[in-house]
Amino acid sequence: MGKTLVVGAGGVSHAAVHKMAMNSDIFTEITLASRTKSKCDAIAAAVKDRVGVDIKTAELDAYKVADTVALIKETGAELLVNLALPYQDLVLMDACLEAGCHYLDTANYEPEDVAKFEYHWQWAYQDRFKEAGLTAILGSGFDPGVTSVFAKWLKKHKLDTIRQIDVLDANGGSNDQEFATNFNPEINLREVLAEVRHWENGAWQHSPAMTTKVEYDFPAIGPKNMYQMYHEELESLITHFPEIERARFWMTFGDAYIMHAKVLENVGMTRIDPVMHDGQEIIPIQFLKTLLPDPGDLGAETKGKACIGDIATGQAKDGSGEKTYYIYNICDHEECYAEVGSQAVSYTTGVPAMIGAAQVLKGNWKEPGVWNMEQLDPDNFMDMLNEHGLPWQVHELAGPVNF
């Protein structure tokens, strides 16, 4: 149905491009571009070996708008799928506007020099994309992404309103590493160590990172400690569902991860500002990233399951009063690796990126403007989750969460 340019060649791209190639009736021609072309070539070779589809590759510095515009025009891409670093969101949106190309990403923009996760930079593009007749889809990963579509599906089919919502992300996987992040180490640590915010009673409530812990018994995983964090879908959910009184995000971490993260923070290795080392300026967290395992290389040794979803409480559509639903997906690391050569964290971001891109190319999500996932019709996206490796289930709970 359309030619697609994918920017970025990490673990998420590995999964997304494999799944795009498995749906060649939708993704008629795929070009994968990155600053390091050899990474693109390796993914293309894996796709050819596993799926039998040829992927074009290109070298691209995504910070250079003119270079991206030239590549969009050269490839004839109808859609650019941004799977690069979130620092590059705005320059890639600029390139799409100049080249006349639709846009989709998996994470909101943040400045490189401050860990500030807010949508206002991208929301400011609304009029420009509308006037250009182009569509920009923000946050088509799992969280954000699927968790936002889950919320919209509940509002469409189960609940007239959502009074409170908790997003729960549990990774029950394990590997042989002493310390490893399950996605880009730089982005992961910036996110995990940021100040916690949650929405309650009309205002943001603040608390220090890693201080609010709750044990929860996750389906297919069992009891895990989860920690309250800030995550970008909280901002978009309370904006587009203004009736929400409380919105929180939780993610599971083992004791070893927490210990390592705190030590690294305490000794300054997670700093994002430049420091001088032997007469050379370095950014500590970027140096640390080079020392830590590449999450894209951990698929073969990662075992266990991930469970991600929403628990939402609100007024039932059938008039029966307030109800609470838990809607979630369970994903197996080994099954993901067997299918596409990725662990579940890359898979659960890469597959929704493919499905969101398919919605654009199929014409389901083609309204000009800049949109978050909960603003869009959820039904075909939800159907494709079931068809393409991320089946979901929904259960009514006895009542609201008690944590």
Tell me the three-class secondary structure of 62-82, residue by residue.
CCCHHHHHHHHHHHCCCEEEE
Q: Provide the whole-model pTM.
A: 0.92
Place of tokens 């469409």: 156
Among residues 171, 107, 154, 152, the alpha carbon closest in space to that of 308 is found at 171
Q: 41-67, pLDDT tens digit by residue?
A: 999 999 999 999 999 999 999 999 999
Rounded Cα–Cα distance for residues 221 and 24 (Å): 34
pLDDT at residue number 345: 87
Asked if residue 182 has pLDDT above 70, the reply is no
Return the exposure string of 166-177: e unless at least 16 CB atoms fall within 10 Å of the residue's CB, then b: bbbbbbbbebee
The number of C-alpha atoms within 13 Å of 59 and in the hemisphere containing its C-beta is 3
For CA atoms 105, 111, 113, 116, give the dihedral sign: negative
Q: In terms of Cα–Cα distance, which of 234, 231, 228, 198 is closest to 213?
A: 228
Torsion angles phi and psi, residue 146, rounded to 5:
-60, -40
Token code pair at residue 378: 């959820």
d(CA 310, CA 47): 33
pLDDT of 115 > 90? The answer is: no
Q: β-pairing, 135-138 with 102-105?
A: parallel
Spell out the domains of the chain, with CATH numbers in brackets: 3-138 (3.40.50.720), 146-342+392-397 (3.30.360.10)
Structure tokens that stand for 272 in this block: 């994002």
**Contact (CB, 8 A) for 29 and 5:** no
Backbone angles phi, psi at 16, to 5 degrees: -65, -45
CA-CA-CA-CA dihedral for 366, 372, 373, 377, to nearest 10 = -50
pLDDT (0 to 100) of residue 299: 62
Say if CB 53 and CB 29 are below 8 A apart: no
Give me the residue label for tokens 């210990």. 259
Which DSSP string corresponds to 308-332? Answer: EEEEEEEEBTTSS-EEEEEEEEEEE
Across all residues in the chain, what is the average pLDDT? 92
| Ramachandran angles phi, psi of 155, nearest 5° | -70, -30
Q: Which two tokens stand for residue 358?
A: 């398919």
Residue 105 near residue 138, CB atoms below 8 Å: yes
Task: Indicate the SS3 state at residue 227.
Answer: strand
275: how many CB neighbours lie within 10 A of its CB? 12
Phi, psi of 174 (to 5 degrees): -145, 155
Residue 181: which pLDDT band, with cuts at 50, 70 and 90? low
Residues 196, 249: Cα–Cα separation, whole Å: 9
Structure-model confidence comparison of residues 365 and 268, the more confident one: 365
194 close to 187: Cβ distance less than 8 angstroms: no
pLDDT of residue 85: 87
- What does the alpha-carbon distance between residue 170 and residue 226 come to, in Å, rounded to a whole number? 7
In this model, does residue 155 exceed pLDDT 90?
yes
The pLDDT assigned to 394 comes to 98
Q: What is the mean pLDDT of residues 275-298?
A: 79
Confidence of residue 185 (pLDDT cuts 50, 70, 90): confident
**Where residue 174 falls among pLDDT bands split at 50, 70, 90?**
low
d(CA 328, CA 179): 27
pLDDT in tens, 313-336: 999 999 999 999 999 999 999 999
Q: Over 80: is that where the pLDDT of 263 sits?
A: no
